[in-house]
């Protein structure tokens, strides 16, 4: 995943935390205008959505976790940057943080699609219901499956998080939207458990399972 610390200089003023579906209220914590590694086979820009309900010990974008941060980029200014990149980029990837936290995401995705870009989504699968509603809008998903479900709470600090992520995987498989499953090989994940996880995913018919190197924060 691209590093969200590479941010643009299109900072807006403070935006109240709200649940508005208006894309203008998107809380954006970072933007990478060009990457070839965040959407398989496509040149993309990455929009880093601010806020995440989980607190994984290995999170390498901790500055994106606080949903109430006021260090935000302006959505409209970002769209203007994207409009200058039509023909140069194939796709826009919404990453985070956790993009599905925000009610404005469907509207923001629709705006980007109207500009002719494909849309990718990086998600931890925190909100399966919201993911299910979004899937018809999305061209590719990178879903983190961090561990076996029962080991999630020790990592994310959130009871029930494992069931949510694995439910998201089930919905994604049923949707037919292309996706890859990503697992970060964090230090507390023993090799035997990683093998168990890999074989459970294989048993589900998961073809694309990407093991990501752990990077200390």
Which letter, b or e, does each residue of 139-159 get, where b requires 16 or more Cβ atoms within 10 Å of its Cβ? bbbbbbbbbebebbeebbeee
CA distance 41 to 146: 24
Q: Kindly identify the residues of this chain, within the stretch 52-111, that bind ligand SF4 according to CB under 6 A.
A: 52, 54-56, 59, 61, 65, 96-98
Q: Which is nearer to ligand SF4, 23 or 53 (CB)?
A: 53
**Beta pairing partners, 79:** none
d(C-alpha 34, C-alpha 27), whole Å:
20
Nearer to ligand SF4, 61 or 183 (CB): 61
Q: C-beta of 61: minimal distance to ligand SF4 in Å?
A: 6
Query: Which of 23, 97 has the CB closer to ligand SF4?
Result: 97
Q: Which is nearer to ligand SF4, 32 or 89 (CB)?
A: 32
User: Of 96 and 162, which CB lies nearer to ligand SF4 in the complex structure?
Assistant: 96
Residue whose structure tokens are 């003023």: 13
User: Residue holding tokens 């870009």?
Assistant: 117
Q: Is residue 38 a contact residue for ligand SF4 (CB under 6 A)?
A: no
Residue 213 CB, shortest distance to ligand SF4, in Å, is 14
Q: x-or-dash pattern for ligand SF4, window 124-163, by CB under 6 A?
A: x---------------------------------------
Torsion angle of C-alpha atoms 39, 40, 41, 42, degrees rounded to 10 = -10
| Number of shown-chain residues binding ligand SF4 (CB under 6 A) | 11
And the tokens for 207? 């073809």
Length of the chain: 217
- Site residues (vs ligand SF4, CB under 6 A): 52, 54-56, 59, 61, 65, 96-98, 124
């Amino acid at each position: 995943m691209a590093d969200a610390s590479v941010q643009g200089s299109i900072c807006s003023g403070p935006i109240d935390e709200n649940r508005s579906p208006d894309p203008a209220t998107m809380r954006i914590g970072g933007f990478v205008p060009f990457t070839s590694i965040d959407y398989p086979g496509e040149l993309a820009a990455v929009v880093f959505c601010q806020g995440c309900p989980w607190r994984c010990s290995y999170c390498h974008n901790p500055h994106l976790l606080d949903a109430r941060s006021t260090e935000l980029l302006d959505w409209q200014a970002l769209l203007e940057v994207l409009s200058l990149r039509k023909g140069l980029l194939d796709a826009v990837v919404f990453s985070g943080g956790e993009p599905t936290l925000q009610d404005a995401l469907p509207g923001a995705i629709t705006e980007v699609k109207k500009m002719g870009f494909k849309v990718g989504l990086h998600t931890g699968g925190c909100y399966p219901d919201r993911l299910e509603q979004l899937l018809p809008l999305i061209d590719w998903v990178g879903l983190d499956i961090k561990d076996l479900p029962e080991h999630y709470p020790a990592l994310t600090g959130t009871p029930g998080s494992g069931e949510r992520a694995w439910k998201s995987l089930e919905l994604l498989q049923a949707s037919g939207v292309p996706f890859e499953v990503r697992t970060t090989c964090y230090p507390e994940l023993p090799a035997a458990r990683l093998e168990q996880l890999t074989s459970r995913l294989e048993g589900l018919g998961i073809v694309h399972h990407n093991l990501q190197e752990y990077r200390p924060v």
